[in-house]
Amino acid sequence: MIAIIDYGINNLDSVENALDKLGAPSIVTNDATTIQSADVLILPGVGAACEGMKNLKKLNLDKVIISEVNKGKPILGICLGMQLLLSKSEEGDVDCLDLIKGSVNKFDSKNKIPQIGWNNVSFNDANRASNLKAGIPNNSYFYFVHSYYCIPTDANISLGITSYGLDYCSIFAKNNIVGVQFHPEKSGAVGFQLLKNVINYFN
Amino acid sequence: MLTKRIIPCLDMTEGKVVKGIQFVNFRDAGDPVELAKKYDDQGADELVFLDITATVDNRNILLDVVKRTAKEVTIPFTVGGGIRTKKDMQLVLRAGADKVGVNTGAFKRPSLISECAQSFGTQCVVLSLDAKRIGNQWNVIINGGQTDTGMPAIEWAQRAVKLGAGEILLTSIDADGMRQGFDIALTKAVTKVVNVPIIASGGAGKLADFKDIFIEGKADAALAASLFHFGELTIKDVKKYLTDHNILVRS
């Protein structure tokens, strides 16, 4: 069972709909026991990092997530959910879950902010989580909506790189932790393939 | 690189897609969910649904369409029409929309934009701005094209972005349904003063119009309705043309 973590500010149904189509059983939940008994966690998210962390803390889910992931439970962070996996975010200057060392910075204002639309992801062949790329052509387009981007301290965990004024990490994978900056559940066929790959990778 | 987006727009009333000319003379264009699926298959980058009558009765029909669409399509979609409160926006987002368009409700009570941006993020809040040329400027028109507010479109665009609008859906009422091309001057004027993506809307009639609105109008996305609904052009035709003219699109 995949637990899609509901912390109040998300469009959760689209992730659930996508998993339904893939035939992967999932539940939208903010209940600690359900999260603890799930096989895989998905931390989705749109909105602001400070609001997101505030809501996770209010529900006491920050500690639950950290403890489960540290025990080895797989987690996929999507968009804001990816950013919250890092140590801290510039958005509201907030401490995040610190499951991946690194920070989250704002795009330079010489770009339009937010970045909204389809951008391509080029794969970093050095990353060993290569089964995440199965069936996805290099430089495929995914749907992005964000103003901030992740800078993992260990650049080797980057699996996908995207360019928007600068090159940044759009997919990272480190053992049981995967983060994607785009919305795979809104990225057509390649997005569904990626979700499928993540589920396979975690199994 | 970020691509330019092609967005079919589905104007709806009572659960049916309709299309008018300059916001009047509507004709039936079919079932919204079926059309949405078709456009997704054709390679549309996003979809926009506008509930053009937006009565209380229509609201539940709209939410039902949103729910069914969310189950069927694999690309993002925006829903607008009759959004007046944060609660309205929440219902539409909960039903599965990715972004919500605000228009008259936000003009009458601008704090709607900041409230929604704070709760759901600026990327969810699309300012839907209907503009009409009055003398030597463009004015904001509300109430579905009926009321000239007297406020310059440029001023409202800037203010709405400051309040937290993350994108602007800019419709030229003069160009709407006329198929004589997008309003390049209006689009250029707005893109110049704000730093959020602009979706240009109204007037698409032929392939070259899309190239012009991206190159001359500096739009980030182009929206069209009747052209696609009545099958004169497909999304694929437009994207092939743009690719042939060195404009980056998702193919």
- Please tell me the predicted confidence (pLDDT) of residue B16: 87
Contact check, Cβ <8 Å, A116/B197: yes
Q: Which of B3, B123, B196 has the CB atom closest to A118's CB atom? A: B3
Largest CA distance in chain A: 45
CA distances from A183 to A58, A79, A148, A162, B224 (A): 25, 7, 14, 14, 24
Tokens of A116: 């909204």
Report the C-alpha gap between B144 and B186 in whole angstroms.
19
Set B40, B130, B183, B209: catalytic member: B130
Residues 6+ apart with CB under 8 A from A159: A123, A124, A127, A129, A132, A133, A171, A172, A173
Contact check, Cβ <8 Å, A118/B76: no
The identity of residue B17, as a single letter, is V
- Please tell me the predicted confidence (pLDDT) of residue B230: 83
B138, pLDDT greater than 80: yes
Say if residues B205 and B179 touch (Cβ distance below 8 Å): yes
Complex prediction ipTM: 0.92
Q: In 10 A of CB B56, how many CB atoms?
A: 7
Say if residues A142 and A183 touch (Cβ distance below 8 Å): yes
Strands A88-89 and A94-95: antiparallel
Domain boundaries, chain B: 5-244
B212, pLDDT greater than 80: yes
Contact check, Cβ <8 Å, B121/A47: yes
- The residues of chain A scoring below 50 in pLDDT are none
- Please tell me the predicted confidence (pLDDT) of residue A9: 65
How close does chain B come to A72, measured CA to CA in Å? 31
B211, pLDDT greater than 90: yes
Which of B112, B136, B139 lies closest to B126 in space, CA to CA? B112
Q: In 10 A of CB A200, how many CB atoms?
A: 11
Check CB contact of A13 with chain B, cutoff 8 Å: yes
In the predicted model, what is the mean pLDDT of residues B120-127? 91
Q: Looking at beta carbons, which residues of chain B come within 8 Å of A13?
A: 70, 94-96
In the predicted model, what is the mean pLDDT of residues B197-223? 97
Report the C-alpha gap between A89 and B214 in whole angstroms.
34
- Please tell me the predicted confidence (pLDDT) of residue B103: 96
- Please tell me the predicted confidence (pLDDT) of residue B18: 85
Report the C-alpha gap between A38 and A1 in whole angstroms.
5
pLDDT confidence tier of residue B13, bands split at 50, 70 and 90: confident
Residues 6+ apart with CB under 8 A from B21: B176, B177, B178
* Per-position DSSP letters for B110-177, written without gaps between them: THHHHHHHHHH-GGGEEEEEEEEEETTEEEEEETTTTEEEEEEHHHHHHHHHHHT--EEEEEETTTTT
In the predicted model, what is the mean pLDDT of residues B45-56? 87
Contact check, Cβ <8 Å, B124/A46: yes
pLDDT digits (tens, 9 = 90+) for B74-102: 999 999 999 999 999 989 988 889 999 99
pLDDT digits (tens, 9 = 90+) for B232-245: 899 999 999 999 99
Check CB contact of B212 with chain A, cutoff 8 Å: no
pLDDT digits (tens, 9 = 90+) for B161-184: 999 999 999 999 999 989 999 999
Report the C-alpha gap between B82 and B106 in whole angstroms.
10
Domains of chain A: 2-202 (3.40.50.880)
3-state secondary structure chain A: CEEEECCCCCCHHHHHHHHHHCCCCEEEECCHHHHHHCCEEEECCCCCHHHHHHHHHHCCHHHHHHHHHHCCCCEEEECHHHHHCCCEECCCCEECCCCCCEEEEECCCCCCCCEEEEEEEEECCCCCCHHHHCCCCCCEEEEEEECEEEEECCHHHEEEEEECCCEEEEEEEECCEEEECCCHHHCHHHHHHHHHHHHHHHC
Contact check, Cβ <8 Å, A145/B98: yes
> How many CA atoms are closer than 13 Å to the CA of A148, on its beta-carbon side?
25
Assess whether A185 carries a catalytic annotation.
Answer: yes
Q: Which of A51, A113, A119 has the CB atom closest to B1's CB atom? A: A119
Check CB contact of B192 with chain A, cutoff 8 Å: no
Give the H or E element holding residue B48. Answer: strand B47-51
Helix (H, G, I), strand (E, B) or coil at B13: strand
B19, pLDDT greater than 80: no
- Please tell me the predicted confidence (pLDDT) of residue B30: 81
- Please tell me the predicted confidence (pLDDT) of residue B189: 97
pLDDT confidence tier of residue B56, bands split at 50, 70 and 90: low
- Please tell me the predicted confidence (pLDDT) of residue B53: 82
Superfamily of domain B5-244: Aldolase class I (3.20.20.70)
Q: Could you tell me what percent of chain B has a pLDDT over 70?
A: 97
Nearest 10 degrees: Cα torsion B148, B154, B156, B158: 180
Residue in A with minimal Cα distance to B249: A118
- Please tell me the predicted confidence (pLDDT) of residue A198: 96
Report the C-alpha gap between A132 and A117 in whole angstroms.
22
| Chain A, window 139-198: residues with a beta carbon less than 8 angstroms from a chain B beta carbon | 141, 143-147, 163-164, 183, 185-189, 191-192
Q: Looking at beta carbons, which residues of chain B come within 8 Å of A183?
A: 76
CA distances from B181 to B138, B203, B206, B210 (A): 17, 5, 7, 8
Q: In 10 A of CB B230, how many CB atoms?
A: 12
Contact check, Cβ <8 Å, B75/A163: no
- Please tell me the predicted confidence (pLDDT) of residue B118: 86
